[in-house]
Every structure is written in structure tokens, then in C-alpha cells.
């Protein structure tokens, strides 16, 4: 076990292969992750709940299965972190809120069951902002502890970036998956709407809530997402076939034809940092003729407001009871967010929901001409300070319309902090989006 001090840096695909080949054990890997956490947690503060003994017991059980010649799932023995809005029967789930202090769900969320069935070891629960909204809980950016890791999936992104765990689950209702991926320099993936079950996950907004995954490579994202994208009758917004065979998509020999990518700045770029345009231009230069500037105007100009309307109505609809009955247990910014939707009219909500349909249609039309849209994953580097988790505006439109998005850590800002390249596909076109990402990474 001499190499324990670097085992935690292995990719998840490599870990799974090494465990299956008997080259390492799950216990060695989990110990390496726990040691990394012990060393770095005082600075990073990524974990809400850890139970070392429980994780090690799961790892040893996984190793016993290997020794016994059992059939192994795709994540056999691989440690995974879970955002603390995802129910676990054997660890607390507090949703980042004092209101839920000590809460122990009776059952695992569907995604937790799927992970266990695939052989994963649940390493622990990662810190989330309160109710996955704005009130942050002190997690820092592993690249610079003076900066935010982003939110609301703060702990999941930071833990993967800091190699405390190779894989973690997060969620996105506004910009909570891809913004932390961008700030922390990890790979992030928010699938098409309705592809990962939300049964057993704290509900913020049924039409907006998505689960997603963090990893340190595209192959690792595909590995875990394939395990999670399974139809679950208990999530009423899932339909029929959810799987996208992403691992197969990234393993294919790429098409020889050139890519055709639409570089979209769209309305949110007004809020970008001044250095973002040259940083992005520098990256896009490397893609040459494969990138075409496309202006998103017209109905796209109303997209962010429409997201805000659906979000605000959802917050009042789903969280009003916490606000009304337990106001004193909530952070001030959480109460403000919940209150915002109280006065919105049904007509305004209907207009926003209809706009989402129109935008989806417009994206379908546009992506009849391009392989994917490409833009930045955030308005700039992770900002200094922990009071705010940063600006979600580069995600909100895509969350509203439920299209798949990927963040690839391919750019660097003026302070040496990572900035993600965001790829956007059409709803249901997740495998194609991974194919595009694979090709970008090969360039």
C-alpha cells in the first residue's frame, strides 16, 4: 500500500478496471480518498457527512465479492460522493439546512440504489447550499481557498476537483451543476430533462430540477451517468427509454468529417467578465473553421426572465410551508428566495412555460444545422470571497428548456483559475453531445 498517497488521483474508469483486475482493492482506494479528505478537509470543507467505518466496510464487502468471483457492476468498489439533498438510508440527509438537522431518511433515493447495484461505495454526503439555493455553507475552491467553488453543488464539485473522490452527484435547478464544474476545473454533465430519477431527492422545482455528475474525465462522466440514466416509475417526469449509452458513444471511433459548432454568446454575455471574450476566443481559435458565430436573439432574450419566473413560482409552491412555519430556522437569503414567487400570476407562469416550449423548438431548429452549441460555462473565474456562489446566468436558459449540457475544463482565466467550455445539445441528444466532447478533447 505504498502508493496510497496517489491512488486517490486515479480516474474512476481506471479504478474500476484495477479493482476488477485485482491490481488494487476498493479498500485501498477508499483509504486513499479518506486520507486525502483528512489532509485537506479543514481547508476545502466539502463534506457534510462522512462515516469512515461504514465506507471501509462497504469497500471490504466489494473486495470480498471480487475475491469470490462475483459478477461485478460497472462501478464495483469505486467511491462516490453524494450532494446532501439526495436521501441515504445509512447517512443523514440535511439539505444544507438547520431545519433538517439530524434528519435520517428511511430509504435510499433511486440513484443511490442504482449506484449500490452497480457496486459503488458511497463515500459520504457533500455540502450543499441551503435547499440547494443561495445560502452557502463555507466550502472553498480547491484551487484557491479565498474563492468560492460555486454552488449549490459546492461540496461535490470541490471534492472531485481536490481528488477526495473520483465521482460525485450534484443537481441543477438554475446553474448548480455546471457553474461549480467551471469554477473547480472538473468535468460536469447535466443530462436532458427526465433522464435521471429524482425520487428521494429534495424537490425545489419539478420542471427545473435535474441531477447530474462530476468527474475528472469525460469517460468517467459517461461511466457513472450510464448507471444513473435508468427509467424509474417513481419519478413522474421520466418517460420510456432514458439510457443514452454514453460509454459506448465515447468509445466509438470519431467521425472523420469536421465538426460544425455554433458559438453562442446570447443575452447572458452582457454579464461576462471583460476577460472572458478573449479567453474564449483563444480557445475557439484552436478549433479553426469548425466554429461559427451564432446570435441567439428574439425569444432567447426572454429566456433568463422566464427561468426566473418558473423558479420563483416553484420555490413558493414547494417551499412556502418551510418559510411560513419555520422561518427562524432558515437562512435569510433562503427566505427571500422563497418569498419572491408569492405574487406571480398564473398568466405570467403560463407565458414562461410556453416560452420554454418555444425555446426548445428553436434549439431543435438550430441544431439541425450544427453538431452542438459551444460557449463558456460561467461568466468568468470563480469570484473571490465566499459570500456568494457566483453567477448562474450561463446555465439558466438551458436548465429551463431541459437540454443536455457538458462542462469541460479547457480554459484558464487571468488569475490561473479554471473556466469551463460549455457544450449544449438538443433534448435527448446526450450521446451525440458526448461524441462532440470526445472530439474536442482530442484536438
Distance of CA 9 to CAs 5, 33, 36, 116, Å?
9, 9, 10, 22
Piece of 10-18, 30-38, 235-243, 324-332 that binds its own copies (CB under 8 A): 235-243
Distance between alpha carbon 37 and the CA centroid of its chain, in Å? Answer: 20
Distance between alpha carbon 206 and the CA centroid of its chain, in Å? Answer: 17
For its own copies, which is the closer residue by CB, 43 or 350?
A: 350
Question: In the bound complex, what is the minimum distance in angstroms from residue 240's beta carbon to its own copies?
Answer: 8
Question: In the bound complex, what is the minimum distance in angstroms from residue 412's beta carbon to its own copies?
Answer: 39
- 347 touching its own copies, by CB under 8 A: yes
The pair phi, psi for residue 325, each rounded to 5°, is -100, -25
Piece of 132-140, 141-149, 356-364, 402-410 that binds its own copies (CB under 8 A): 356-364
CA distance 30 to 45: 18
Q: Catalytic: which of 156, 171, 176, 335?
A: 176
Which of 233, 297, 324, 387 forms a contact with its own copies (CB under 8 A)?
A: 233
Distance of CA 377 to CAs 98, 390, 417, Å?
31, 12, 13
Are 151 and 129 spatial neighbours (Cβ–Cβ below 8 Å)?
yes
CA distance 307 to 39: 40
- 369 touching its own copies, by CB under 8 A: no
How many chain residues bind its own copies (CB under 8 A)?
30
Q: Beta strands of 19-173 (E only): which ranges?
A: 47-50, 79-83, 121-126, 167-172
- Residues 6 or more apart whose Cβ sits within 8 Å of residue 183: 141, 147, 148, 149, 150, 157, 378, 381, 382, 390, 417, 418
Which of 353, 366, 384, 441 forms a contact with its own copies (CB under 8 A)?
A: 353
For its own copies, which is the closer residue by CB, 122 or 359?
A: 359
Which of 6, 107, 248, 365 forms a contact with its own copies (CB under 8 A)?
A: 365
Q: Which of the residues 142 through 181 are near its own copies (CB under 8 A)?
A: none
Piece of 27-35, 125-133, 215-223, 349-357 that binds its own copies (CB under 8 A): 349-357
Question: In the bound complex, what is the minimum distance in angstroms from residue 432's beta carbon to its own copies?
Answer: 14
- Residues 6 or more apart whose Cβ sits within 8 Å of residue 393: 175, 268, 271, 304, 379
DSSP for 407-427, please give it.
EEEEEE-TTS-EEEEEEE--T
Q: Beta strands of 64-186 (E only): which ranges?
A: 79-83, 121-126, 167-172
Question: In the bound complex, what is the minimum distance in angstroms from residue 312's beta carbon to its own copies?
Answer: 9
Question: In the bound complex, what is the minimum distance in angstroms from residue 246's beta carbon to its own copies?
Answer: 21
Q: Catalytic: which of 26, 152, 154, 377?
A: 152
The reply to whether 176 belongs to the active site is: yes
Which of 144, 305, 364, 432 forms a contact with its own copies (CB under 8 A)?
A: 364
For its own copies, which is the closer residue by CB, 23 or 354?
A: 354
Q: Provide the 3-class DSSP secondary structure of residue 392.
A: coil
Which cell goes with 199? 425520487
In the shown chain, the binding pattern of residues 298 to 337 toward its own copies, with x for contact by CB under 8 A and - for none, equals ---------------xx-xx--------------------
- 68 touching its own copies, by CB under 8 A: no
119: left (phi over 0), alpha (psi -120 to 50) or beta: left
Are 49 and 84 spatial neighbours (Cβ–Cβ below 8 Å)?
yes
For the sheet with 210-215, list strands across it: 47-50, 121-126, 79-83, 167-172, 210-215, 187-190, 405-412, 418-424, 372-376, 261-264, 291-294
Question: In the bound complex, what is the minimum distance in angstroms from residue 216's beta carbon to its own copies?
Answer: 35
In the shown chain, the binding pattern of residues 195 to 224 toward its own copies, with x for contact by CB under 8 A and - for none, equals -----------xx-----------------
Residue located via cell numbers 437562512:
331
Q: Which of the residues 236 through 265 are near its own copies (CB under 8 A)?
A: 236-240
Question: In the bound complex, what is the minimum distance in angstroms from residue 193's beta carbon to its own copies?
Answer: 11
Catalytic residue list: 83, 152, 176
Residues that bind its own copies (CB under 8 A): 206-207, 233, 236-240, 313-314, 316-317, 341, 344-351, 353-354, 357-358, 360-362, 364-365
Amino acid at each position: 500500500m505504498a502508493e496510497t498517497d496517489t491512488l486517490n488521483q486515479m480516474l474512476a474508469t481506471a479504478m474500476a478496471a484495477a479493482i476488477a483486475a485485482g491490481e488494487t482493492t476498493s479498500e485501498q482506494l477508499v483509504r486513499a480518498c479518506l486520507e486525502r479528505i483528512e489532509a485537506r478537509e479543514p481547508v476545502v470543507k466539502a463534506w457534510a457527512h462522512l462515516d469512515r467505518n461504514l465506507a471501509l466496510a462497504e469497500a471490504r464487502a466489494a473486495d470480498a465479492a471480487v475475491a469470490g468471483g462475483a459478477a461485478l457492476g460497472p462501478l464495483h468498489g469505486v467511491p462516490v460522493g453524494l450532494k446532501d439533498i439526495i436521501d441515504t438510508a445509512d447517512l443523514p440527509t440535511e439539505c444544507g439546512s438547520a431545519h433538517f438537522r439530524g434528519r435520517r431518511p428511511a430509504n435510499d433515493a433511486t440513484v443511490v440504489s442504482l449506484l449500490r447495484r452497480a457496486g459503488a461505495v458511497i463515500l459520504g454526503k457533500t455540502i450543499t447550499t441551503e435547499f440547494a439555493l443561495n445560502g452557502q455553507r463555507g466550502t472553498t475552491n480547491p484551487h484557491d481557498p479565498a474563492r468560492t467553488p460555486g454552488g449549490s453543488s459546492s461540496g461535490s464539485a470541490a471534492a472531485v476537483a481536490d481528488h477526495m473522490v473520483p465521482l460525485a452527484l450534484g443537481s441543477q435547478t438554475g446553474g448548480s451543476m455546471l457553474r461549480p464544474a467551471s469554477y473547480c476545473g472538473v468535468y460536469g454533465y447535466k443530462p436532458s430533462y427526465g433522464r435521471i430519477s429524482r425520487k428521494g431527492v429534495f424537490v425545489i422545482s419539478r420542471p427545473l430540477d435535474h441531477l447530474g455528475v462530476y468527474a475528472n474525465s469525460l469517460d468517467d462522466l459517461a461511466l457513472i451517468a450510464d448507471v444513473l440514466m435508468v427509467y424509474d416509475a417513481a419519478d413522474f417526469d421520466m418517460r420510456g427509454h432514458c439510457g443514452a449509452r454514453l460509454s459506448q458513444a465515447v468509445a466509438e471511433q470519431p467521425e472523420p468529417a469536421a465538426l460544425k459548432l455554433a458559438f453562442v454568446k446570447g443575452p447572458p454575455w452582457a454579464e461576462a467578465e471583460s476577460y472572458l471574450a478573449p479567453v474564449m476566443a483563444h480557445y475557439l481559435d484552436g478549433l479553426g473553421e469548425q466554429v461559427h458565430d451564432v446570435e441567439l436573439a428574439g425569444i432567447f432574450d426572454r429566456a433568463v426572465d422566464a427561468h426566473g419566473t418558473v423558479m420563483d413560482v416553484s420555490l413558493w409552491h414547494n417551499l412556502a410551508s418551510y418559510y411560513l412555519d419555520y422561518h427562524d430556522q432558515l437562512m435569510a437569503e433562503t427566505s427571500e428566495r422563497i418569498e419572491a414567487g408569492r405574487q406571480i400570476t398564473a398568466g405570467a407562469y403560463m407565458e414562461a412555460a410556453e416560452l420554454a416550449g418555444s425555446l426548445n423548438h428553436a434549439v431543435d431548429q438550430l441544431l439541425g444545422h450544427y453538431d452542438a452549441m459551444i460557449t463558456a460555462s460561467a461568466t468568468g473565474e470563480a469570484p473571490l470571497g465566499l459570500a456568494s456562489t457566483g453567477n448562474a446566468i450561463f446555465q439558466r436558459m438551458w436548465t429551463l428548456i431541459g437540454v443536455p449540457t457538458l462542462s469541460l475544463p479547457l480554459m484558464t482565466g487571468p488569475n490561473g483559475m479554471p473556466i469551463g467550455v460549455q457544450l449544449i445539445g438538443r433534448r435527448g441528444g446526450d450521446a451525440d453531445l458526448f461524441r462532440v466532447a470526445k472530439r474536442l478533447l482530442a484536438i
